[in-house]
């Protein structure tokens, strides 16, 4: 099925942090959407997420402009993460005070044929709302997620755990990236949400599902999600990108 889409997104520093280390990119024309959540002292987190976002956007934009499609997009995603990693390594070598900086990177490339290809490292997330039900599409690379899967921690306890921020995989100079790749189908009516942990650590999936299911315009939903995270404490930067899938416009035959 051929699809089209509309999008909206926003990022907020939250109520406790001094700077915003999150980054987002939306390129609706080419169907590239991403969020990155940086970490590191002396504002290095901002640098890390910005380097990752701009590198990935550039590589994927070039690939799509060159006609890359289908499984070729997976290869472009892996290349994008590899190049982002190398750009971070280079920056850290040139600026030793930023050593140790890192970032999550979660990228979604949407194809008009009705698929989304996702590349992912870290604990930012992609969700899909379909028929009113929210489903998390990405796997958190966190210590608490490993504990949940091993049956040693409940989901509720994981959210409140003091070590919930410890990542098992992140884009940094320490290790070459291993990227999770997912391909999902999309149909009109689906709503994709890309979010950093500043959203889902503040409000639970049921609340997110209820908001996304309200049928409000995407710009309004963006504000509502960010406001809800801040109302619940806003202890972290919060970033959301929403992509609403619509039917492709019917092409009229030339008269
Ligand atoms: Ca965060």
Q: Ligand 1 centroid vs 247 CA: distance in angstroms? A: 34
Q: Ligand 1 centroid vs 169 CA: distance in angstroms? A: 14
In this prediction, residue 134 carries a pLDDT of 98
Element (H, E) at 209: helix 205-212
Q: Ligand 1 centroid vs 214 CA: distance in angstroms? A: 26
Question: How far is the C-alpha of 179 from the C-alpha of 171, rounded, in Å?
Answer: 10
Q: Tokens 């189908």 sit at which residue?
A: 185
> Mind listing the pLDDT tens digit of every residue in the chain (255 residues)?
799 999 999 999 999 999 999 999 999 999 999 999 999 877 799 999 999 999 999 999 999 999 999 999 999 999 999 999 999 999 999 999 999 999 999 999 999 999 999 999 999 999 999 999 999 999 999 999 999 999 999 988 887 888 888 899 999 998 999 999 999 999 999 999 999 999 999 999 999 999 999 999 999 999 999 999 999 999 999 999 999 999 998 877 655
In this prediction, residue 163 carries a pLDDT of 86
Output phi, psi for 153, to 5 deg: -145, 140
Q: Ligand 1 centroid vs 93 CA: distance in angstroms? A: 25
Element (H, E) at 39: strand 32-39
Q: Tokens 């996702």 sit at which residue?
A: 118
Is there a contact between 169 and 141 (Cβ–Cβ < 8 Å)?
A: yes
Q: What single-letter DSSP state applies at residue 202?
A: T
In this prediction, residue 253 carries a pLDDT of 65
Task: Output the six-digit token pair for 135.
Answer: 């489903």
- The two counts, helices (H) then strands (E), for the chain are 7, 12
Q: Ligand 1 centroid vs 176 CA: distance in angstroms? A: 22
Is there a contact between 142 and 82 (Cβ–Cβ < 8 Å)?
A: no
Comparing C-alpha atoms, which of 65, 66, 62, 64 is closest to residue 54? Answer: 62
In this prediction, residue 82 carries a pLDDT of 98
Question: How far is the C-alpha of 80 from the C-alpha of 59, rounded, in Å?
Answer: 6
Edge-to-edge strand order for the sheet containing 191-195? 3-12, 238-247, 191-195, 125-130, 133-136
Q: Ligand 1 centroid vs 161 CA: distance in angstroms? A: 15
In this prediction, residue 60 carries a pLDDT of 98
Q: Ligand 1 centroid vs 37 CA: distance in angstroms? A: 6
Q: In Å, what is the CA distance from 40 to each residue of 57, 170, 241?
A: 22, 12, 23
Is there a contact between 84 and 171 (Cβ–Cβ < 8 Å)?
A: yes
Q: Ligand 1 centroid vs 36 CA: distance in angstroms? A: 9
Q: Quick one: CA dihedral 100, 173, 160, 201, positive or negative?
A: positive
């Amino acid at each position: 099925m051929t699809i089209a889409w509309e999008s909206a997104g926003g990022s907020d520093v939250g109520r406790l942090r001094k700077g915003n280390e999150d980054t987002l990119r939306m390129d609706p024309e080419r169907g590239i959407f991403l969020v990155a959540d940086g970490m590191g002292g002396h504002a290095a987190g901002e640098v890390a997420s910005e380097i990752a976002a701009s590198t990935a956007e550039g590589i994927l934009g070039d690939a799509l402009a060159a006609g890359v499609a289908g499984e070729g997009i997976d290869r472009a995603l892996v290349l994008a993460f590899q190049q982002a990693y190398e750009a971070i390594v280079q920056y850290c070598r040139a600026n030793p005070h930023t050593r140790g900086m890192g970032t999550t990177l979660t990228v979604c490339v949407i194809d008009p044929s009705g698929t989304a290809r996702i590349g992912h490292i870290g604990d930012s997330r992609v969700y899909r709302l379909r028929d009113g039900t929210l489903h998390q599409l990405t796997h958190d690379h966190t210590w608490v997620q490993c504990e949940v899967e091993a049956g040693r921690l409940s989901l509720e306890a994981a959210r409140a755990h003091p070590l919930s921020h410890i990542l098992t995989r992140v884009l940094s100079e320490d290790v070459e990236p291993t990227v999770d790749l997912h391909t999902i189908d999309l149909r009109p009516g689906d709503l994709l949400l890309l979010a950093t942990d500043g959203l889902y650590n503040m409000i639970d999936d049921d609340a997110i599902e209820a908001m996304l299911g309200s049928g409000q315009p995407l710009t309004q939903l963006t504000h509502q999600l960010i406001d809800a995270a801040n109302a619940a404490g806003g202890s972290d930067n919060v970033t959301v990108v929403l992509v609403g899938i619509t039917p492709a416009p019917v092409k009229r035959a030339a008269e």
